[in-house]
Amino acid sequence: MSKKLFIETLGCAMNVRDTEHMIAELSIKKDYELTETLEEADLIIINTCSVREKPVAKLFSEIGVFNKKKKEGAKIGVAGCTASHLGEEIIKRAPSVDFVLGARNVSKITEVVEKKHAVEVSTDYDESTYAFGEYRTNSFKAMVNISIGCDKACTFCIVPATRGDEISIPSDLLVQEITKAVNNGAKEVMLLGQNVNNYGRRFGAAEEKIDFTGLLQKISAIDGLERIRFTSPHPLHMDDAFLDEFASNPKICKQIHVPLQSGSTQLLKAMKRGYTKEWFLNRCEKIRTLCPEAAISTDIIVGFPGESDADFEDTMEVLEKVRFEQLFSFKYSPRPHTEAAEYGNQVSDEVASVRLTRLQKRHTEILDEVMDAQVGKVHKVYFDELKPGNRVAGRSDDGKLVFVEGSEELLGQIVDVKITKASRGALDGVVLNQS
């Protein structure tokens, strides 16, 4: 009888994909079967995030809860970014943890489950060409890592310390992986990396000369693949060739994440982001000119050390000018192994909270206007999920969540939908035709 595996995933899309890789390895090589019931699991894995402080604190309370609920003899493993940066300390603080597996060491999952107190957290490990087994949570949309690690040194960010240097995955391997996913029913691929448009900067053993634009062109040639998304690109590497490809390639979905972090050139410098407010605005204007229908989303940090009222006003100005559709906004959280944590001029929590509330309030107003303006429009929606009450959910080309009345037949179809109702998080519509 197969053993049962329970995995909790925190954090970004790369962690979600790492979870799929662990499930694949454990089910194919060790006969584990996924369960959603913690109490029946033989193996419990917490795949962690460490980008802000909160999830780290949550990890230790969660280990305590899981330890009480788990069945006799069940193992607990901690994987992901917090595993990378705390390593052995996790077992010292929580001896009930059986193994610790870093975000850069996921391919070793079948080894560490067999050892007591194994700690595999090397950030130099190169698993960029490791042939993971196949497992996908959603057969209609495939997530594919195109690079591992991050070569930037943004002063607020712990990721380079947890995921190591950036290594691109050879393009032929990517084409093989995507072709396989397409043959298994995926019409859409989501290309993943900490810094996707830096693709091709460095390979492991392979010798290849290709950049992200070249990769997009190569992937677009895959028969049966209809939609390409990617996250996250870096504003610094958004050159003209890339934006032209984004706008003109019909397979590339017109949704782009352009992480601002701050609108103040001075703060961007202190963050070591490598671009100015003007460059950022110029790139967004170019996107709007080439591709007016594109949805632009962003990440913003408020309360970064030294952020003055004037710096924050710069951020508000960029919000006003670009009118981001989606905003992921955070209060600055000092992280270990980062330069900014050592800066002296930390902003008080009260000031950061006031700024965050103002930013989010204004963004909500913009979002409501954007969503209300969708009523009456026609979107091409790719349906991938059945919902209760005869409803089916999918995403428009520009990434909006759309619901219609319907059943299984819509799953896996890309269909014209007329929008009839808008709310902040989603749109309702009616199907116009079915291809």
Contacts with ligand 5AD by CB under 6 A lie at 51-52, 156-157, 259, 261, 299, 301, 330, 332-333, 335
Which residues make beta-bridge pairs with 256? 296
In the complex with ligand 5AD, the residue whose CB is nearer, 157 or 182, is 157
CB of 157 to ligand SF4, least distance (A): 3
Which partner from the list ligand 5AD, ligand SF4, none does 330 bind, CB cut-off 5 to 8 Å by kind? ligand 5AD
Residue choice 80, 160, 200, 233 for contact with ligand SF4 (CB under 6 A): 160
- Which DSSP letter does residue 207 get? -
Q: How far is the CB of 10 from ligand SF4 (least distance, A)?
A: 16
Residue 105 or 261: which CB sits closer to ligand 5AD? Answer: 261
Cβ distance to ligand 5AD smaller for residue 305 or 429? 305
Q: Cα(264)–Cα(251) distance, rounded to whole angstroms?
A: 34
Question: Residue 2 — φ and ψ, nearest 5°?
Answer: -75, 155
218: contact with ligand SF4 by CB under 6 A:
no
Nearer to ligand 5AD, 211 or 299 (CB): 299
| H or E element that contains 256 | strand 255-257
Tokens of 362: 């204004």
Q: Residue from 63, 113, 150, 427 that binds ligand SF4 (CB under 6 A)?
A: 150
Number of H helices, E strands in the chain: 13, 19
Closest Cα partner for 237 from 157, 152, 313? Answer: 152
Q: Select the residue whose beta carbon is closest to ligand 5AD and give its number.
A: 299
Pick one of ligand 5AD, ligand SF4, none as the site partner of residue 52 (Cβ within 5 to 8 A by kind). ligand 5AD
DSSP H helical ranges for 70-170: 81-86, 89-93, 109-112, 159-163
User: By C-beta, is 102 or 160 nearer to ligand 5AD?
Assistant: 160
* Residue in 19, 107, 171, 194 binding ligand SF4, rule: CB under 6 A: 194
Q: Does 234 bind ligand SF4 (CB under 6 A)?
A: yes
Cα–Cα distances (Å) from 352 to 104, 301, 358, in that order, read 33, 9, 10
Contact present, 189 and 227 (Cβ < 8 Å): yes
- The stretch near ligand SF4 (CB under 6 A) out of 122-130, 146-154, 212-220, 286-294 is 146-154
User: Distance (Å, rounded) from C-alpha 80 to C-alpha 78?
Assistant: 7
Question: Which of 85, 108 has the CB closer to ligand 5AD?
Answer: 85
Residue 240 CA, distance from chain mean position: 24
Please report which residue ranges of 184-264 form alpha helices under DSSP H. Answer: 212-220, 240-248
> Closer to ligand 5AD at the Cβ: 329 or 396?
329
Tell which residue, 236, 252, 234, 237, has the closest CA to residue 290. 252
Interface residues toward ligand SF4, by CB under 6 A: 150, 152, 154, 157, 159-160, 194-195, 234
